[in-house]
Amino acid sequence: MIFLRMHGLSFLSSRVIRTYKIASFCWAVSLLAQNPKTDPVERGETQFAQTCAFCHGSGANGGAEGPNLIRSALVRHDNNGDLIGPVIRDGRPAKGMPAIPLSDTQIADVVGYLHWRLAESDRTSPGNPRDYGLKLLLTGNAQAGKAFFNGRGQCSRCHSPSGDLAGIANKYAPADLQARFLYPENVLKIATVTTRSGRHFKGMLAYQDQFTIALRDEDGWYHSWSVDEVRFEIHNPLAAHLDLLHRYRNSDIHDVFAYLETLK
């Protein structure tokens, strides 16, 4: 009787162990299925290891020379290579990054790999997404960021912490806030057009190419001219932001972000 009970216990235990192993295996397969590596992603991983990992780390987590691409606003807001591609092709000479001679297919593979890494990082990160974003991005010094804002960066010429930036840290998630101060959205250029008769028109730039200039005035009227018939000037409110992209140090970006996060 004792033998049968012991045998039964042994049998039960082995079933539990087998069930646990099967469940563990299924759980692991499920995790992989949530974010599988496709052939382009694997090619991108190999290409990244060959040409990018030396500076940006083997998993794009940052290295001795290059920043962490997992917490890069540019990478996070890339759409099918529209932001990453130009950086790879042209480099960032002012920041010490050379142009990398990759084919369009190789660039697409690297882009796919970086997006896979972002998805994998977000999927496995615990807790509140905003808290996780802050954990990754809030590595700068807020006082240094304030000094840059009011000094070398000349941000205070156009922006005010008690005006247009009041409460901005509560309006946007961390990654979006960093992206918006680096690459502001929906800011239109202003066009001023003078016709041969001396009439002046001013409004939001609606269209421009080598043949045509068009604007929409404050009353909503659309005006269009041939460029050889008028004089015109284009004012880009984001010119200062674009200029800063070539002058930011990596520490400046994180310092300014840390300062903006204090504006609640």
Tell me: the pLDDT tens digits for 182-196?
Answer: 877 777 899 999 999
Whether 113 and 51 have beta carbons less than 8 Å apart is answered as no
Residue 161: DSSP 8-state: T
Give how far the C-alpha of residue 51 lies from the chain's centroid of Cα atoms, to the nearest Å: 21
Tell me: the pLDDT tens digits for 46-92?
Answer: 999 999 988 888 888 877 677 888 878 788 778 889 889 999 998 88
| Same domain (yes/no): 111, 180 | no
pLDDT class of 95 with cuts at 50, 70, 90: confident
Percent of the chain with pLDDT over 90: 42
Top-confidence range, 34-43, 70-79, 137-146, 202-211: 202-211
| Same domain (yes/no): 6, 19 | yes
Amino acid 135: pLDDT: 59
| Same domain (yes/no): 195, 176 | no
| Same domain (yes/no): 72, 137 | no
* 28 token code pair: 């692991």
If phi over 0 gives left and psi between -120 and 50 gives alpha, with beta otherwise, what is residue 48?
alpha
The residue from 124, 158, 176 where one domain ends is 124
* CA-closest candidate to residue 114, choices 198, 26, 48: 48
Residue 259: DSSP 8-state: H
Q: Is the pTM of this model over 0.85?
A: no
Tell me: the pLDDT tens digits for 127-153?
Answer: 555 555 565 667 789 999 999 999 999
**Mean of the per-residue pLDDT values of the chain:** 80
| Same domain (yes/no): 66, 167 | no
Could you give the CA distance from residue 130 to residue 264 in angstroms, rounded to a whole number? 14
HEC assignment per residue over 35-83: CCCCHHHHHHHHHHHHHCHHHHCCCCCCCCCCCCCCCCHHHHCCCCCCC
Residue 37 has pLDDT above 80, yes or no: no
For residue 85, give the CATH number of its domain. Answer: 1.10.760.10
* 93 token code pair: 């000479």
Could you give the CA distance from residue 242 to residue 252 in angstroms, rounded to a whole number? 15
Cα 7 to Cα 1, 19, 148: the distances in Å are: 10, 18, 74
Q: How many domains does the chain have?
A: 4
| Same domain (yes/no): 136, 108 | no
| Same domain (yes/no): 119, 152 | no
Whether 172 and 163 have beta carbons less than 8 Å apart is answered as no
Amino acid 143: pLDDT: 95
Residue 113 has pLDDT above 80, yes or no: yes
Helices (H), the chain: 2-34, 39-51, 53-56, 73-76, 84-90, 104-124, 129-137, 142-150, 168-171, 174-182, 239-245, 250-260
* 222 token code pair: 């659309």
In terms of pLDDT, which residue wins out, 122 or 238? 238
| Same domain (yes/no): 110, 196 | no
| Same domain (yes/no): 104, 173 | no
Phi and psi angles of residue 217, each rounded to the nearest 5 degrees, phi first: -80, 180
| Same domain (yes/no): 57, 106 | yes
| Same domain (yes/no): 116, 47 | yes
Domain region containing 207? 190-236
Could you give the CA distance from residue 1 to residue 16 in angstroms, rounded to a whole number? 22
| Same domain (yes/no): 64, 100 | yes
